[in-house]
Structure 1
Amino acid sequence: MKYRKLLFLVSLAFFSCKNEKTEVVNEEATKPNVLFIAIDDLNNMIGPIDNFINVKTPNFDRLADMGVTFTNAHVQAPLCGPSRASIMTGLRPSTTGIYGMTPDNSIRRPGNDATKDITFLPEYFEQNGYYTMGIGKLFHIHAPDSVFNESGGRVKGFGPYPKERIVWDGFGTSKSKKGKYGRTSTDWGAFPENDTLMPDHHSVDWTIERLNRKYDKPFFLGLGFLRVHVPLYVPQKWFDLHPLDSIKTPPYLADDLKDIPNVGLQINDLPMMPSTEWAIESGEWKKIVQAYLACLSYVDYELGRVLDALENSEYADNTIVVLWSDHGYRLGEKGTFAKHALWETATKAPLIFAGPQLPKGKKIDAPVEMLTMYPTLLELANLPAYNRNEGKSLVSMMTQDKGIKEAYALTTYGMNNHAVRTNEYRYIQYEDGTEEFYDHNIDPNEWHNEAANPKYKAQIENMKKLLPKVNSKWDESSNYTFQPYFVEQKARVNGEENK
């Protein structure tokens, strides 16, 4: 009798432990996965946002129907390196001093008090039980060493490139500065022959293969597209979707810059980029827009391949998808073809979330920051908040419309140059205190600087209060040698002029 009682107790203990273990495994298995999609230089021409004339982006539309689209999202720096560093660290450029291009392995370094012990976004997921993977351009190049459990790397550059450049020499039209500040890949045309020769195609293949695997824990999967970054090369079939005679150019005012402060003009001095006047005189403007739209359609196709794979996988109902870009891209607005500015078309970029418990087909027009991605993904995944994040989660805005009226976005370009975007206005303050102010109710193209207009004094004073209180010096590993102003600013503020 004693033996039977002992056997019963042992059996009970065994099954209790087994059930306890099963509950833990099930809880782990129900954590949502994350599909993190970055698209380089993507502006808001896509269908779900601006729906620019002749744009064809059915898969961007499809993703928007699956979740929430922020039509007025803004980057924390209008340049890929500092923008991506901000997203991945959860910190503002003004906090880190990362204002320019910084090697991936130098973002977190002993000499930078803000970042020396920061946990990158994918690492936070790994620390909380996720298997992390990434391919393509996610940080500035790809990713710091060992950030992902599994890395697909990145093809160097932004190719493929033809043997000879088709249109543009990459050095610019300024005779005095020609070649002094480097050469860009700003080119456009039909190349190569088919999609399989595009690096992004292989990145998508890699991603699809991972979506078809089985995992014993939730996953974080990052996919970084190279297009629509220049050169604007994709196969001819994508150009054929956008006949040249159907192309319209963005709004442009020839004397738009007449009321811009000197620092703003210096920042906009991009000697290696094609100017809008050159594009008009040479007859290339519509061809550049056509090439950009062709690249959008190509990326849209590759996005569709990823969405098909997700929907056909066992993870379709338990995966958070976030799609974003590192900045906007000007296609002739404000006199040039580039990001590189504190104006609307450079700071605004797409941001779309989809996943369990999120509304479907919803659009939010309030200004928000890309910096919010880190805390938003943590909350959506039911993970503990990371107290180092400077952004605020967007979950309550997406699900309950909280904070829409008070929303704003802050962009920084170089030390102590900032733009603040609220629901109705844009305010810019440069390092010397000079200002710009635009009323988007009557001037959506930001053609008329109203900073001196007494009518807006109260709005300007309120927006000044939103500027960052910390303006760190340039991080020693961060540089932007393509732009004359930033070369001079870093040397001046860091005391390097006489070195």
Structure 2
Amino acid sequence: MNLRNINIAFLLLSTIILGSCKTKQESVQLTNSKPKNILFLAIDDLKPLLNAYGENQMYTPNIDRLAKMGTIFTNAHVQQAICGASRASVMTGMYPDHTKVWDLETDFRDSAPELLSMPEYLITQGYETSATGKIYHKGIDRKSWSIPYSNPNYYDEKYGTPAFGSYQDPETKRIMNAALKEGREKGLTNRALRNYVFNILRPSTESANVSDLSYTTGLYTIEGIKKMDKIIKTGKPFFVGIGYQKPHLPFVAPKKYWDLYKREDIKLAVPQKQSEGTPKWAFHSFGELRNMSDIDSRLDTGDVLPEAKQRELIHGYMACISYVDAQIGILLDALEERNILDETIVVLWGDHGYHLGDHALWNKHSNFEQATRIPFMFAGPGVAKNTKIDKPVELLDLFPTLFDLAGVKEAKVDGKSLKPLLDTDPKTNINPTYAVSQYPRWKDKMGYSIRTDRYRYTEWHNDGYRSFTPYKEERILARELYDYEVDPLETKNLINDASYADTAKLLKAELKSFLTK
């Protein structure tokens, strides 16, 4: 509902305040209805490799079902393509330069203690909050949960506990257990012991003929439903977060999900080379993948994996997505069985995208499209059904959007409510023009990138620059410009192309305005 359509008499009678949504501002909404439940689905390392996003080689019927129930954003981007920074951003609604989290180790409670998390704020609004799986990267953040966060360990008794939480293949478990014994005999403990084992064996993939409850992915679903049931009994609205850790490496999933795909039909990324004219520090040597024991650790930036290994990895990534997809179906069924589907907001998001060989890159950790672009979808009361929105939006917009949809009062955040795009009222609308991402490289460089409907413009700043320090032209080491209408694979940096001079000037002004506001 739009503010201009509400008359004074209605305001006095209902004391309902509806705020308009403006770019880079929070949304304000109080409603006279009971606040909606929130099912918060965080999926680690998930790029938009989904049938609902036009990837018809994928078997994802349950995420398709969710998409038809609501609205998906096709041009959504994370604030930084690394778990720690991205999750701190979405959970607080703040950019990384506000959370001061740019890595995997920093806890926003230490770097920006004045910030409140989304579930922490919801507790003050009468919600019960709880979670299982990977929500934050570092720790469990006890302040966020009114009912303790917990991770399940009741694995399928037929197969037992997976080795290092990941592996069920009997031979893999045998070798790892032997390595553990050796390491302990050498006096190793904790991380040193873990590294000793992983240096001997740490496969990048596993296809074992086991049940869904043999890995944590299946257990998180059961645990999440238990938490919902516990809160439903209280009569309070719930926020339940379920953080699936697949398709993160290692790519392990029950064999039945691997069997959905034929490896020989899998398409490899093209071209597998670095972009022409792009600064070398925009790329990386995919150390996360090289830490797996079956990957050549000597590979360097720009090196290409053998084709057979690429197909195996992509096959595993796809199998993991279908494994998670099956869990989404169980959750949607659970909402229907409890007759709460119509009073529950469901949001599904990936914490960043993923390189699968493009630019000779794997994993995330860049400002390129494959690393920043994510699946992002909402369903539930007040959300238009079976709708796609192409406008550029940001993951940190999730925080105020959920509050607006659920009927919770405003919170001061960097993100903007996307409810005017999600609802079915043609009189409400916003027009976001770009999404911002950033990525640090080495100790002193930071790349800031804006993605519009057509272009990506990136500046690499030196000397430890952040947006809260003075913007100086002499700090800019390099710039990038890509036109997705003519070059969707980012094969050439167009920043020095004279025909794009006006575009580059305009985008530079947009980015500078954002960085200096």
The bucket for the TM-score relative to the shorter chain is 0.7 to 0.9
* Whole-Å separation in 2 of the counterparts to 1:94 and 1:368: 18
Give, in whole Å, the separation in 2 of the partners of 1:271 and 1:358. 40
Q: Deviations over 1:3-40 (max 9, x none)?
A: xxxxxxxxxxxxxxxxxxxxxxxx99822111111000
Please report how far the alpha carbon of residue 108 of structure 1 lies from its aligned counterpart in structure 2 after TM superposition. 1.3
Q: Name the structure 1 match of 2:87.
A: 84
Call closer, same or farther: CA 1:228–1:255 in 2, change over 3 Å.
closer
Counterpart check, 1:430 vs 2:430? no
Deviation at 1:185, TM superposition (A): 6.4
Q: Is the 8 A contact 2:152 2:219 kept in 1?
A: no
DSSP 3-state at the match of 1:143: coil
* 1:372 to 1:194, Cα distance in 2 relative to 1, 3 A: same
CA drift of 1:405 comes to 4.9
Q: Counterpart of 1:398?
A: 422
**Cα distance in 1, alignment partners of residues 266 and 449 from structure 2:** 31
Q: 1:301 is matched with which residue?
A: 326
Q: Contact between 2:285 and 2:302, CA under 8 Å: does it hold in 1?
A: no
Q: 1:41 & 1:192 partners in 2: Cα distance?
A: 24
Q: Return the match for 2:362 from 337, 353, 361.
A: 337
Contact 2:303 2:360 in 1 (8 A): no
Which letter maps to 1:149? Answer: S
Task: Name which of 329, 343, 346 aligns with 1:321.
Answer: 346
Question: Deviations along 1:378-425, whole A, 9 cap, x unmatched?
Answer: 1112222112x0011000122257666542100011263111100010
Distance, in Å, in 2 between the alignment partners of 1:151 and 1:249 is 43
Closer, same or farther in 2 for the Cα pair 1:300/1:344, shift >3 Å?
same
Whether 1:310 and 2:335 are equivalent positions in the alignment is: yes
Residues 274 and 302, structure 2, Cα contact 8 Å, conserved in 1 = no
- 1:413 is matched with 439
Residues 272/79 of structure 1: CA separation in 2 closer, same or farther (3 Å cut): closer
* Backbone CA RMSD of aligned residues: 2.7
**Aligned-pair distance for 1:225?**
0.5
**Which position in structure 2 is the counterpart of 1:8?**
none
Q: Displacement of 1:209 after TM fit?
A: 2.4
Alpha-carbon distance in structure 1 between the residues aligned to 2:168 and 2:303: 23
1:273 alignment partner, one of 265, 285, 289: 289
Q: Match of 1:164? A: 172
Deviations 1:334-376 (A, max 9, x none): 1022111100000001000011121100000111100100110
- Per-residue deviation, residues 204-255 of structure 1 (Å, max 9, x unmatched): 11122233442321111111101111100111111111021222223x2244
Shift in CA distance, 202/50, structure 1 to aligned 2, threshold 3 Å:
same
Counterpart Cα distance in 2 of 1:247 and 1:282: 11
Q: 1:138 to 1:28 in 2, by over 3 A?
A: farther
1:455 to 493, 496, 499: 499
1:3-402 matched pairs, under 5 angstroms: 30-52=34-56, 54-102=57-105, 106-109=107-110, 112=111, 115-141=112-138, 143-154=140-151, 159-160=166-167, 162=169, 164=172, 187-191=204-208, 193-212=210-229, 213-250=232-269, 252-265=270-283, 268-271=284-287, 273=289, 280-281=305-306, 283-387=308-412, 389-399=413-423, 400=425
Kept in 1: contact 2:454–2:485 (CA 8 A): yes
| 2:152–2:220 CA contact under 8 A, matched in 1 | no
Contact kept in structure 1, 2:278 and 2:493, CA below 8 Å: yes
TM-score normalized by the length of structure 2: 0.76
Q: Which moved more, 1:204-213 or 1:285-294?
A: 204-213
Q: CA deviation at 1:89?
A: 1.3
Alignment partners' CA distance in 2, 1:129 and 1:299? 31
Determine helix, strand or coil for the equivalent of 2:384: coil
**Residue matched to 1:466:** 510
Letter in 1 for 2:266: I
Shift of 1:284: 1.5
SS at match of 1:285: helix
Do the aligned partners of 1:369 and 1:409 also contact (CA within 8 Å) in 2? Answer: yes
Can you give the 5+ residue segments of structure 2 that lack an aligned partner in the other structure? 1-30, 154-163, 175-194, 291-298, 463-475
Q: Secondary structure at the match of 2:494?
A: coil
SS in 2 for 1:412: strand
Shift of 1:123: 0.7
Question: Shift of residue 196 of structure 1?
Answer: 1.1
Distance 2:129 2:512 in 1: 33
1:150 counterpart SS class? coil
Q: Secondary structure at the match of 2:226?
A: helix
Asked if structure 1 preserves the Cα contact closer than 8 Å seen for 2:47 and 2:373, the reply is: yes
Q: Is the Cα contact below 8 Å between 2:278 and 2:492 reproduced in 1?
A: no
* Contact 1:211/1:313, CA 8 A, preserved across alignment: no
Q: Distance in 1 between matches of 2:323 and 2:43?
A: 12
Secondary structure, aligned partner of 1:60: helix
Q: For residues 260 and 377 of structure 1, what CA distance do their matches in structure 2 show?
A: 38
Letter in 2 for 1:426: R
CA shift in 2, pair 1:206/1:96, >3 Å = closer
Shift of the alpha carbon at 1:258?
3.8
The CA distance in 1 between the partners of 2:422 and 2:449, in whole Å, is 24
Residue 121 of structure 2 aligns to a residue in which SS?
A: helix
Provide closer, same or farther for how the CA distance between residues 404 and 366 of structure 1 changes in structure 2, counting only shifts above 3 A.
farther
**Matched residues in 2 for 1:198 and 1:37: separation?**
18
Deviates more, 1:185-194 or 1:362-371: 185-194
CA distance in 1, matches of 2:511, 2:92: 20
Compare CA radii of gyration and give the structure with the larger one.
1
Q: 1:321 to 1:406 in 2, by over 3 A?
A: closer
- Indicate how the Cα distance of structure 1 residues 153 and 338 shifts in structure 2: closer, same or farther if over 3 A, else same: same
Pair 264,447 (structure 1): closer, same or farther in 2 beyond 3 Å? same
For the structure 1 residues 418 and 355, does the alpha-carbon distance in structure 2 shift closer, same or farther, using more than 3 Å as the test? Answer: same
Provide the rounded CA distance (Å) in 2 between the counterparts of 1:230 and 1:31. 37
Contact 1:70–1:363 (Cα < 8 Å) also in 2: yes
Aligned counterparts of 2:263 and 2:307: Cα–Cα separation in 1:
15
Single out whichever of 425-434 and 76-85 deviates more from structure 2.
425-434
SS at match of 2:374: coil
Structure 1 residues without counterparts, runs of 5 or longer: 1-26, 167-178, 473-499
